[in-house]
Structure 1
């Protein structure tokens, strides 16, 4: 009986596989976006990458906080530990990488403080907090997943040819690294585990959270490429 169950389970399509399939058109648009294409070719204007980094700093700060807040709502010890570790890593390791980029591009603390949050960055972060505070930890975890998974796929696609610009190559390497790939796989497993515990309505809402985050990921590139402003 156990072998039959495992065989059936192996043949089942997981919730994250379904999410990935449904988000595929949005992700393809990300792969084909001029921001990504020009990052790889080295033709992306430096001021556009600077804009991206300043907005991404705001996003990652909240992304890290959300890891901890989601963990606080869960009881599974292994999931909680991964999310707590992720929160610490995003505040420490990712911040260290970004500081190096900021130094190389002369992005000062004063410039960061006086840079307004762009509409898409604001909306993306608000969406994730909404999924936690008005939804559930499972929906919030699903909302976090595209940032891991999409960036990991972009890193793996771009690393094959690389970029002639050193800082762009460093950026690509970050998301193709073994450590980031491992974290991505763990996050996928977490969402699958939470999905297994969810009823059909909750599964659908987790899927919606994932798709919306994928939408905001796509428009993050456009936000940076066009130097989006409120007016």
Structure 2
């Protein structure tokens, strides 16, 4: 039986393929990615993940379903305890200090991606907002699994790959997919259309996030 998330995956397949082939991802695996680009990515991703975690809480605050609320709050806490903790370890290893964090402005794409998430919840509601979360989980898993087959000669990059190729991460991906399918099954055709639109837009921003980091994007 085809799940709604299979439909979402197909709708964004061209964007996901472009992410897989993006120079940032390819050079991360080969070890050729300049460390300055990876540092820039980490700084922007720190902002994004903090907002992403809070977005889980914002959705949870609007839902009437106790199980959905509990799940989203658990996922928000898990992000802080695991994925964001890995990022903090990178910061220590690469000597990214609080002063540098404070002085680094949010790049246009990171800013736009977060605004897309917030606007989706405010305009379209809970189910589309959950669908907007999914690419950040699912695409990273697929990239991690693909890159894990060859690994990376750079320890920082290999640690990044390992984060998204593990059992813990796979379990979280399955949980968010299950919630998305449950919401789609109980939603209207219009709501499912909005869910797909939100998913594709998030997939677009995931692709642009690699480009943002690769070019070390600035406002002017």
Partner Cα distance (1:187, 1:76) in 2:
15
5+ residue gaps in structure 2?
Answer: none
Q: Provide the alpha-carbon RMSD of the alignment.
A: 0.9
Determine the structure 2 residue equivalent to 1:19.
Answer: 8
Distance in 1, Cα, partners of 2:25 & 2:146: 11
Deviation at 1:79, TM superposition (A): 2.1
Aligned match for 1:69, one of 45, 53, 58: 58
Structure number, greater radius of gyration: 1
Aligned with 2:43 (options 54, 69, 72): 54
Post-superposition offset of 1:187: 0.2
1:165 pairs with 154, 157, 164, which one? 154
Find the aligned partners of 1:88 and 1:39 in 2 and give their Cα distance: 28
Q: 5+ residue gaps in structure 1?
A: 1-10
Which residue in 1 is equivalent to 2:69?
Answer: 80
Describe the SS at the equivalent of 2:105: coil
> Which 4+ stretches in 1 moved above 3 angstroms?
none
- The structural deviation recorded for 1:112 is 0.6
State TM-score, norm by structure 1: 0.93
Aligned partner (choices 93, 112, 119) of residue 123 of structure 1: 112
Aligned residues between the structures = 220
**CA contact 2:113–2:202 (8 Å) conserved in 1:** yes
Q: Within 1, Cα distance between the matches of 2:147 and 2:80?
A: 25
Under a length normalisation based on structure 2, what TM-score does the superposition of the two structures give?
Answer: 0.98
CA contact (8 A) 2:131 2:180 kept: yes
1:76 deviates by 2.6
Q: Is the 8 Å Cα contact of residues 56 and 75 (structure 2) preserved in structure 1?
A: yes
Distance (Å, rounded) in 2 between the aligned partners of 1:20 and 1:105: 35
Counterpart-to-counterpart distance in 2, 1:76 and 1:188: 17
Deviation, 1:75, is 2.6
Residue 145 of structure 1: aligned partner: 134
Q: Which residue of 2 aligns with 1:106?
A: 95
In the other structure, the counterpart of 1:4 is: none
Q: Show CA shifts across 1:31-83 (max 9, x none).
A: 00000000000010000000000000000000000111111222333322221
8 Å CA contact 2:129–2:198 kept in 1: the answer is yes
Shift of 1:202: 0.9
Q: Deviations over 1:105-155 (max 9, x none)?
A: 111111011100000000000000001112101111000000000000001
